[in-house]
Amino acid sequence: MTFFLQQCLIGLTNGALVAMVALGYTMVYGIIRLINFAHGDLIMLGACLALTLVSALGMAGWTGAATWLGVALLVLLCGLFCGGLNVAVDRIVYRPLRTAPKLAPLVSAIGVSFIFMNVGLFWLGPADRSFPELLPARNLLAGEGLQFTAKDLLVIVVVVPLMIALSVLVKSTRLGKAMRAVSQDPTAAALVGIDVDRVIAATFFVGGFLGGAASVIYGLYINTIGFQMGFQNGLYAFTAAVLGGIGSIPGAVVGGVVIGLVRALSSAYVGERWTGAIVFAILIVILVFRPEGLLGRGTKEKV
């Protein structure tokens, strides 16, 4: 039983991280129907910046409250960096393609992802790099059984508030309303006076900010970064977004958690080597029975 709970705990924590990345996919998809292939690599660049900052500030020597404040600063800086970069890419690459055939932005996104990878290659070098362990590895839970360290806690304390903030943003602010309007019908939104390009830029910023925050958490939680990390991260996060119903914000969260749990439990009960296959097999089965994903609404049909 303890073993099962431990695996669930790991799955939840991992899932929260996946969900945070998935949000970036789902928001951009929701608003311009683009699978932003570069999102995973954007996060990789965020992690590069985080590592550079950690070594520049000498954060490995900080303790106690200073560490936590430092982490908050990192989250903010990397969030701004990734958000800004995302907006810039949208402005330069995707915006001129708004009326192009559907697959043109997709291929451009793949192109951006390659460029990001190349930047990461020069930034980090070809080998994986170790991200310093800033947080104590002490078990926070009493007793022998379950293991839950400050790192795991960090994932939760960053991810949950950010997600709440995001849903408040989308549900109750003017910007959020505009986002939803653009998502439903960009032309109609423009007609009622919404600056569509600005709303799209804001969406890219928010998605990128979450990605940047996720990159810091990733570095602190996984402790290894490398120029190829974006791909695998992106794959799982994108899968989570689709699983939950792409375009749906709660869907991305649910999808992320489901993926985290499936990975943990299949590693524990089937074998580590099959996890990749099981995650995607479950994805296919779920989509066969719920074609719009777990929480997705039916897509509009073009007639």
Partner 1 sequence: MPMKARTWAAWLVVGMAVAAGCRPADPTLVKIVSSLPRTGSAKQQSDTIVRGIRMAIEEAGGRVGPFRIEYLDLDDSTAAAGQWTSEAEAANARRALQDPDVMAYIGTFNSGAAKVSMPILNLGDLLMVSPANTAVGLTKPGLGAPGEPEVYRPTGRFNYVRVVPADDLQGPLSADWAKQRGVKKVYILDDNEVYGKGIADLFDERCRELGIEVVGHDSIDAKAQEFKSLMASVKAAHPDLVYFGGTTQTKGGQLAKDMASAGIGALFMVPDGCREQVFIDSAGAANLEGRCFVTFGGLPPEKLTGKGQAFVERYQKKFGELPEAYAVYGYEATCVALQAIREVGAKDRRAITDRALAIRGFDGALGRWGFDANGDTTMRTLTVSVVKGGKFEFEEILDAAEEAAAP
Partner 2 sequence: MTTSPSPDVLTDATTASPRDRLLAFVRERWDLVALVALAVAPLVVPALGGALGGQVTTLFVYCILALGLNVMVGYTGLVHLGIAAFFGIGAYLFAILTVPMYPFQMRFVTAAAVSALATAGIGLALGAPTLRLRGDYLAIVTLGFGEVVKVTLRNLEQITGGMKGLNPVPPPGAGLKIGGTDLGLAFAIDPRWFYYLALLTLAGVVVAMRRLENSRLGRAWVAVREDELAAEAMGVSATRVKLSAFAMSSAVAGLAGCLYAASLSTTADPNAYDFNRSIMVLCAVILGGLGSIPGTLLGVALLVGFDTVLAPWADSAIQQWNINPSGSSLLSFSGWRLAIFGLALILVMRYRPEGLVPSRRMAAELHEAHA
101 binds partner 2 (CB under 8 A): yes
Q: Is 268 in the site for partner 2 (CB under 8 A)?
A: no
* x/- letters, 28..57, toward partner 2 (CB under 8 A): -x---x-x----------------------
Return the H-helix or E-strand segment holding 226. Answer: none
Among 52, 172, 173, 224, binds partner 1 (CB under 8 A): 224
**Kind plus residue range of the DSSP H or E element containing 192:** none
Q: Does 269 bind partner 2 (CB under 8 A)?
A: no
In 3D, which of 68, 74, 16, 39 has the Cα closest to residue 211?
Answer: 39
Distance CA 183, CA 197 (A): 12
Size of residue set near partner 2 by CB under 8 A: 50
Of 68 and 123, nearer to partner 2 (C-beta) is 123
Distance of alpha carbon 279 from alpha carbon 87, whole angstroms: 32
Cα separation, 55 vs 69, whole angstroms: 16
- Break the chain down into helix, strand, coil percent, rounded to 5: 75, 0, 20
Does 19 sit near partner 2 (CB under 8 A)? no
Q: How far is the CB of 136 from partner 1 (least distance, A)?
A: 11
CB atoms within 10 A of CB 29: 21
Q: Does residue 186 belong to the site contacting partner 1 (CB under 8 A)?
A: no
Smallest gap from residue 2 Cβ to partner 2 (A) = 29
Of partner 2, partner 1, none, which one does residue 246 interact with (CB within 5 to 8 Å by kind)?
partner 2
To 5 degrees, how large is the angle CA 208–CA 209–CA 212? 85
The window from 26-34, 62-70, 156-164, 260-268 that contacts partner 1 (CB under 8 A) reads 260-268
With CB under 8 A as the contact rule, the residue among 58, 64, 126, 143 that binds partner 2 is 126
**CB nearer to partner 1: pick between 101 and 193:** 101
What are the CA-CA distances from residue 200 to residues 1, 29, 32, 252 (Å)? 47, 11, 8, 19
Q: Does 96 bind partner 1 (CB under 8 A)?
A: no
Binding window for partner 1 (CB under 8 A); candidates: 74-82, 95-103, 128-136, 199-207: 128-136
Give exposure, 100-114, as e/b (b: 16+ Cβ within 10 Å): eeeeebbebbeebbe
DSSP 35: -
| 174-233 residues near partner 2, rule: CB under 8 A | 231
Cβ proximity of 150 and 140 under 8 Å: yes
Query: What one-letter code names the amino acid at 249?
Result: I
Alpha-carbon span 198 to 185, nearest angstrom:
15
Question: Footprint of partner 1 on residues 135-154 (CB under 8 A)?
Answer: 137, 139, 147, 149, 151
How many of the other CB atoms lie within 10 Å of CB of 180?
A: 15
Residue 292 binds which one of partner 1, partner 2, none, with CB within 5 to 8 A depending on kind? partner 2
CB of 286 to partner 2, least distance (A): 10
Where do contacts with partner 1 occur on this chain (CB under 8 A)?
3, 6-7, 10-11, 14, 126-130, 132-133, 137, 139, 147, 149, 151, 222-224, 226, 228-229, 232-233, 263-265, 267-268, 271-273, 275-276
